[in-house]
Amino acid sequence: MTSRHPWRLTLSGAVLGLLFLAPYVVMVLGSLRTSTDVKATPPSFLPREWQWDTYGQVLGDGRFVEWLKTSLTVSLGSTIVVILVAIPAAYMTARHRFPGRTAFLLLVLVTQMFAPTSLVVGLYREFFELSLINTYAALILTNAAFNLAFAIWILHGFFASIPIEVEEAAALDGVTRWQSLRRIMLPLTLPGLVTATIFTFIAAWNEYVVALTLMIDDDKKPLTVGFRSYVTGYEQHWDQLFAASVIAVVPVVILFAFIEKHLVGGLTAGSVK
């Protein structure tokens, strides 16, 4: 049934969109102010003095470039590990009834109940014993472990929703199980695969607590931890902090814009069998 007042829905959507957009507007305007203007009272919506070279300063900062490289390395590495492990795990649980299958799926679900903050001490101790403190491998493995459960669950739903007759027909044509997974199942589960990929990437990109604990060298810290260097007890570069935050958001926004269609389809179709 169509609404008699479509303008109300449009207005409500516009207001809601502005509320979500407001923090980013503040960030952009803050990056174009001077540091003293950011702290000035009373505050003003528009900068009193426009500063246009802040982004050039941040991009020319060697520390920021290293932080960006670390974030990209960790996020991409974690995503690759999650996808490589989640695909066979989800396919196996969706297509085969083996002893302990239900317990395995419940165990995967239970892992989502543990917050990274509560495991920081144990993680630090474990990686210390393995001599992995201050390494990319520690962050990649940790982020992959925290996001693996979500990827398995959503891919499991997609694999289970595909009729098994599709694979049986392919087997009659001489297609092996591996070829069936690669040529038939994965293309059919593309929305779910994209959803798992983007959520894993964004979660690793935004992770803070574990990176703060495990990474010691300044040039190995990701963006989320490195940002703290712009505002300390001795110096406050609020303009550069805002500019760096805006730059850090851009890759995620661009990635989301390209895969938004698949992402929405994955979230909706993956929940129905």
Mean pLDDT value across residues 61-72: 92
Check pLDDT > 90 for residue 251: no
Span 105-117, pLDDT tens digits: 777 777 777 777 7
- Taking alpha carbons only, the member of 167, 251, 159 closest to residue 196 is 159
| CB 123, CB 142: distance < 8 Å | yes
Looking at residue 1, its pLDDT comes to 47
Of 157-166, 171-180, 250-259, 263-272, the range with the highest mean pLDDT is 157-166
Tokens of 57: 């300063």
| CB 158, CB 192: distance < 8 Å | yes
Span 156-176, pLDDT tens digits: 888 888 888 887 887 887 777
| CB 270, CB 158: distance < 8 Å | yes
Beta strands in 121-217 (DSSP E): none
In the three-class reduction of DSSP (H, G, I as helix; E, B as strand; rest coil), residue 14 is classed as helix
pLDDT tier at 270 (50, 70, 90 boundaries)?
A: very low
- Taking alpha carbons only, the member of 107, 195, 111 closest to residue 145 is 111
Choose between 141 and 264: higher pLDDT.
141
Check pLDDT > 90 for residue 222: yes
Looking at residue 201, its pLDDT comes to 92
Query: In whole numbers, what is the pLDDT of the chain averaged over residues?
Result: 83
Span 18-61, pLDDT tens digits: 888 888 888 888 888 887 887 777 778 888 888 888 889 888 88
pLDDT tier at 273 (50, 70, 90 boundaries)?
A: very low
Mean pLDDT value across residues 231-241: 81
**Gap between the Cα atoms of 48 and 90, Å rounded:** 55
Assign 3-state DSSP to the chain and report helix, strand, coil percentages, each to 5.
75, 0, 20
The answer for residues whose C-beta is within 8 angstroms of residue 55's C-beta and 6 or more apart is 31, 243, 246, 247
Residue 231, beta-bridge partner list = 236
Scan for tokens 């083996």, then name that residue: 98
